[in-house]
Amino acid sequence: MAGLDAIGVGRSILVGKPMAQLLLAENCTVTVAHSRTRDPASTVGAADIVVAAVGQAEMIKGDWIKPGATVIEVGTSRIVRDGKTALVGDVEFAAASCHAGAKTPVPGGVGPMTIMSPVHNTLVAARRRRGLRGPQLC
């Protein structure tokens, strides 16, 4: 991933800021954008990796995605579409799928990991406090 341009859309302490640090550790050039970023289309459009974690339904338009980019959806929202409630991500899925080289879906993507990781970290901290090891992730 070294040298790739990455953007994290969202600046939360749960996903946005840690993801930016992880991408920096992989030697990516990282931009952090959010709901008030000026000209988000060009900012997102320059990225090889897009991590969408802003929590605004379909805020990132599919045609903003650079051809071949990897899109990781983290943010989810419920909307009413055709009279039914639907769970959608921060990126327009169908349109982005035409541009992206790879894209995680909503639902069915990384959502469970955002719950599992803090739970795992809590278990590790509790065990360490008692002088115990683990648990280990596979």
pTM: 0.81
Examine the domain organization and report whether 9 and 21 are in the same domain. Answer: yes
Examine the domain organization and report whether 98 and 125 are in the same domain. Answer: no
Examine the domain organization and report whether 98 and 134 are in the same domain. Answer: no
Angstrom distance (rounded) from CA 84 to CA 93 = 17
Examine the domain organization and report whether 11 and 60 are in the same domain. Answer: yes
Residue 96: CB atoms within 10 Å = 23
Examine the domain organization and report whether 43 and 91 are in the same domain. Answer: yes
Examine the domain organization and report whether 57 and 76 are in the same domain. Answer: yes
Two structure tokens written together for 27: 């030697």
- Structure-token match 């550790």, residue found: 25
Total domains, the chain: 2
CATH of the domain at 83: 3.40.50.720
pLDDT per residue as tens, the chain (138 positions): 899 999 999 988 888 899 999 999 999 999 999 878 999 999 999 999 999 998 889 999 999 999 999 999 988 889 998 999 998 889 998 889 889 998 987 887 777 777 777 788 888 888 889 888 766 655
Examine the domain organization and report whether 75 and 87 are in the same domain. Answer: yes
What are the Cα distances from residue 68, in Å, to 38, 99, 129?
A: 24, 6, 45
Domain of 67, in residue numbers: 5-107
